[in-house]
Amino acid sequence: MKVYSVPCLEDNYSYLVCTCSIVDESSKEAAAVDPVEAEKVVEAAKQHGVLLKLVLTTHHHWDHAGGNDKIKQLVPGIKVYGGSLDNVKGCTDQVENGDKLVLGAHTNILCLHTPCHTKGHISYYLTSKEEEDLAVFTGDTLFIAGCGKFFEGTAEQMYQSLCVTLVSLPKPTRVYCGHEYTVKNLQFALTVEPDNVKIQQKITWAQHQRQAGLPTVPSTIEEEIETNPFMRVDQPEVQARVGCRSPVEALQEIRRRKDNWRG
């Protein structure tokens, strides 16, 4: 299994959407995740010599689902998956938490309901015949060192999505999120934990990546546990830093601070 990032919406670079083709090498079949610019994704599939078989849509927002109708025109018969609670544009097959899909001969896809940003948001957890080859596509629920705004849900739901569902994945799992927000997220994370050495180290790395024109995606679940304030709310020291006594209360407070933070 290989993952290729296809940068989209380049005229709004700080909100870059990474559209990824997931390739099953033995069958040369591929899936597109949130192909907002369908033509770019179809061209990338041609360049890599793979056959697009399905689309995995994380949620209904236009910058993730907006290319679904177009890719159906370009690739007749392609299946477009999306959450059953999310009214995803162009969806042909609705999925729910725990549903399982297959790509090619050796790639399995587990659908995880990760609501809050939208009520039907789905993250897709991929495994292959190589046990160590693990990836999760988290859309706008989990960002590197951040999380999505609570547009359609509550702090309790985001806690469940981040700190119960996603944190339970194996630590080496690669995290592919929907936007390039990493440097700003890490700068904010330092306001929550200014003495966190892991955050300090990662922000230096991320700044170098961006200065070189390179992405900061993917991260890993382990790195998020170490550096993402929204996934660290179970830590007593994080709760204390934001004046809270429970993980959910801390998550709500950190989100409030992030919403008002101007960097």
Strands 134-139 and 174-177: parallel
Q: 238 in the Ramachandran plot: left (φ > 0), alpha (ψ -120 to 50) or beta?
A: alpha
Residue 179 designated active-site: yes
Answer whether the bond into residue 218 is a cis peptide, omega within 30°.
yes
Catalytic (active site) residue 259: no
Residue pointed to by tokens 């024109």: 213
Task: Report the SS3 class of residue 118.
Answer: coil
Catalytic residue selected from 60, 61, 113, 121: 61
Q: Distances in Å between the alpha carbon of 178 and those of 25, 59, 186, 253?
A: 24, 10, 16, 23
| Active site (annotated) includes residue 195 | no
Q: In angstroms, what CA-CA distances link 195 with 138, 192, 211, 237?
A: 28, 9, 25, 11
- One of 34, 59, 60, 121 is an active-site residue; which one? 59
69 belongs to the catalytic site: no
Q: Is 64 noted as a catalytic residue in this protein?
A: yes
From 24, 34, 60, 64, the catalytic residue: 64
Query: Are β-strands 17-24 and 2-8 bridged in parallel, bridged antiparallel, or unpaired?
Result: antiparallel
| Residue 83, both tokens | 């959450």
CA angle 64, 66, 71 (to 5 degrees): 105
Catalytic residue among 60, 113, 121, 179: 179
- Alpha-carbon torsion 236, 240, 241, 247, what sign? positive
Q: Give catalytic status of residue 93 as yes or no.
A: no
C-beta of residue 191 within 8 angstroms of C-beta of residue 203: no
Which among 34, 60, 113, 117 is annotated as catalytic? 117
Catalytic residue among 63, 86, 113, 121: 63
Is 63 designated active site?
Answer: yes
State the distance between the two ends of the chain, measured CA to CA, in whole angstroms: 37
Q: What are the catalytic residues?
A: 59, 61, 63-64, 117, 140, 179
